[in-house]
Amino acid sequence: MLTQAAAASSEQVVPHLHVFADTVFAVGPSGELEEIEAPMLRLSFEYPRYRRTFRASDDNTRFFSAGAAGISAVQRNAAAEYEAKRQLEGLGAVDLECLDDFGTAPDSDADFMMRIDGDRHDYCGFIASAIPNLRKTGWRVSVADDFPFRVVEEEANFRARVVPEANGDWFALQLGLDIGGHHVDLLPALLDLLDEGSEGDSLARLARRPCVAVPVDRQRHVTLAADQLRSVLRVVAELYEGSGRDMRFHREQADALLRLDEAFSGQQLLWDDPEDMRSYAETLRDVATEEVSEPVDLRATLRPYQRAGLAWLQRLRRAGVGGILADDMGLGKTLQTIAHLVAEKEGGRLDLPAIVIAPTSLMGNWAREIARFAPHLRVLLHHGPHRHEHTNFADHDVVLTSFPLLVRDREVLERQAWHLQIVDEAHTIKNVRSQTHQAAKALSARHRLCLTGTPVENHLGELFSLVDFLNPGLLGDARFFRRWYRIPIEKEGDEERLLALHGQVSPFILRRLKSEVATELPPKTELFHPVELRGKQRELYEAIRIAAHAKVRSTIRKKGFAGSTIAILDALMKLRQLCCDPRMVKLESARFVRESAKTEAFFELTETRLAAGHRILVFSQFTSMLGLLGKGLKERGIRHITLTGATKDRQALCDRFEAGEVDVFLISLKAGGTGLNLVSADTVIHVDPWWNPQAQAQANDRAYRIGQTKPVFVHNLYVAGSVEERMLVLQKKKRRLADAILAGELTQDAGLSEGDVEALLAPLVG
């Protein structure tokens, strides 16, 4: 008999697992007991030969069996039972006997439970992946009918449906699941998951799971791979407008359908697409290889990337949507636009005039460029005191006007229907509530185009303003955009919303960098020169900083951070002026401080560069600083000219510099950072840093643009350890925001916070 029992230790064992939910009691973070509904597991072992089943919690190591030879003792297969328990624990189950500060209801009938700190994704993942694997290895598994984390076992097919709207260019997209003859709308569950992603790193945690559970009703779920879900959510975030049961997309956003199809690769996604928008999307993807011929009447030879730009502009026109030509400065946005106008003229589509709205300083440049490249176009310059004598716009192909006159003559301009509305330096309309933006949006035009190298300068609200002007409704209203995109991206670093926004706007933005397409350009080197404050100038800086810091703190306590803008800007302005030259500060304490470390460094650098045969552009935010530098240059016998907002004839000064009459050109950053072609210069000096790196990059591109043949050196002067050095750190934050939306990369908060202000007003270092 003993021999029989020893032999029986290798008896076949079939594990039985029953999965159900029950209430458990655990000590929560507050130290008190909490009730939690958790998945429970009852494990038993069947010995088929003897038709006997034993609970895993049964401590008996043997059992008795009656047979022909009588009653015999059978040893349970401890090794097989142990291996089954180990396998179950490896899938995330926990033996109840191993848990502290934990209890079950008195009538609970469980041996194991899933991790108490898990969630539906863990629990459904267990059902979806672990249970099928257990069954494959011979386990018998049952799941209670009322188990709240069930996974759909019936045949299920994902289904996407495209529904044309009354406006032929807009469509609704529905996404659901067909289960056993019933259709389930998945959008509500997907929106819940997307909202989870806005709270901390929820989506990042989901990405580390093998699968994610999407509820289809109160008990059942479908599971998706984490990467697959992220791709689906990206499309949802891109197309959902904050209300209703559908996602919406414009014809030009049809690429989202292909990305949805790709997300479901490996799983069947059925389509109801009566207008075959996916085929249309395929043609959009092929636009990069589309070739167009240069217009016959264009007096220019376009570079390959400029021909690609023309093809892109023509595609936007055919689709009836607006876009942003956001090429790097100096790559010929004006020429590409003129080529577009000529193509429209030759195609017989310019039966209504086109209007170009630009800064006043660029009116002459547009007129000259059109006369140079397309002299056959009939151009009207709507500018100057006698402009109302010629308001028969329909007799012209192109009407040129400025932003101030757009607002002033809004009623006159609204009377004319336009074929094409072009906004140059379009960041001018970046404030959706400004009169300029509203006046631009009020014009009736078949097509709209924005030209700007800086579609995002400070925050995503600026991008919304441009897209709202070009394609109203594409990003929802301002309130929706702020809640759905801006706050999650800027404040919470939400990568999924950023990628969704990138996918939303990328078809409407064309951005090429010099480094990518203008490889013939010489190198550009950017240098930073720290300047040390000394003696009385250093003492004055600290005295003004302490007083300004105290005033800002007091104002913030009284009015809050949002209401303290004027006090903050005033404090920063005084410190920045002092970094440049004490003579700029209108305070009694500054009257007797004459030395300026920045001014000395500037003249030393300038004289060195001039002696080596270089020609120089000098930029500053402060016209008063340019005045002081101009006075110093004159005292040293250095010929120079100055351009500010008060300059009447900008082009005449540019012509003098390009002709070599002078070697130093002092330029106000705001007035001369755009619209100038000064490729005879090979040195740029920024006397003082500014918040916006794009503004300084635009200034650099006055010299570093097509036509430049010499290496360009950009010199940045800043006072070490001061507000200026800390502003350079903020510049990087601004640059990350702009790069992120154009490239679809993760960004960080780029806004000015109270912590930023504290850092800017901190004591002088070094």
Instruction: List C-alpha distances in Å: 492 to 200, 209, 272, 648.
Output: 7, 22, 37, 46
- Distance separating alpha carbons of residues 696 and 690, to the nearest angstrom: 7
Token representation of residue 35: 């009730």
Token representation of residue 747: 């960004």
Q: What is the pLDDT at residue 103?
A: 58
Whether residue 410 contacts residue 439, with contact meaning beta carbons closer than 8 Å, is answered with yes
Q: What is the largest CA-CA distance in the chain?
A: 125
Whether residue 528 contacts residue 268, with contact meaning beta carbons closer than 8 Å, is answered with no
3-state SS, one letter per residue, for 487-529 = HHHHHCCCHHHHHHHHHHHHHHEECCCHHHHCCCCCCEEEEEE
Residue type at position 399: V
Q: What is the pLDDT at residue 288?
A: 47
DSSP 678-741: -TT--EEEESS--S-HHHHHHHHTTTSSTT--S-EEEEEEEETTSHHHHHHHHHHHHHHHHHHH
Whether residue 718 contacts residue 728, with contact meaning beta carbons closer than 8 Å, is answered with yes
- Distance separating alpha carbons of residues 335 and 343, to the nearest angstrom: 12
- Distance separating alpha carbons of residues 334 and 365, to the nearest angstrom: 10
Q: Between helices 495-505 and 460-470, what is the axis angle to 10°?
A: 30
Place of tokens 């192109």: 398
Q: What is the pLDDT at residue 451?
A: 94
Exposure of 35 by Cβ count < 10 A (0-12 exposed, 13-18 middle, 19+ buried)? exposed
Count other C-beta atoms under 10 Å from residue 385's C-beta. 6
Whether residue 78 contacts residue 56, with contact meaning beta carbons closer than 8 Å, is answered with no
- 3-class secondary-structure state, position 355: strand
- Distance separating alpha carbons of residues 417 and 515, to the nearest angstrom: 40
Place of tokens 């940045």: 716
Nearest Cα residue to 502 out of 734, 764, 226, 235 = 235
Write out residues in the chain with pLDDT < 70, as ranges: 1-9, 26-33, 99-108, 115-121, 154, 196-211, 241-245, 266-267, 284-291, 673, 691, 731-752, 766
Residue type at position 759: A
- Distance separating alpha carbons of residues 324 and 450, to the nearest angstrom: 5
Alpha-carbon torsion 404, 405, 408, 413, what sign?
Answer: negative
Count other C-beta atoms under 10 Å from residue 521's C-beta. 19
CA 108 to chain centre: 51
Gyration radius from the chain CA atoms: 35
Q: What is the pLDDT at residue 26?
A: 65
Q: Is 635 left (phi over 0), alpha (psi -120 to 50) or beta?
A: alpha
Vertex 452 angle, CA 447 and 457, to 5°: 125
CA 362 to chain centre: 30
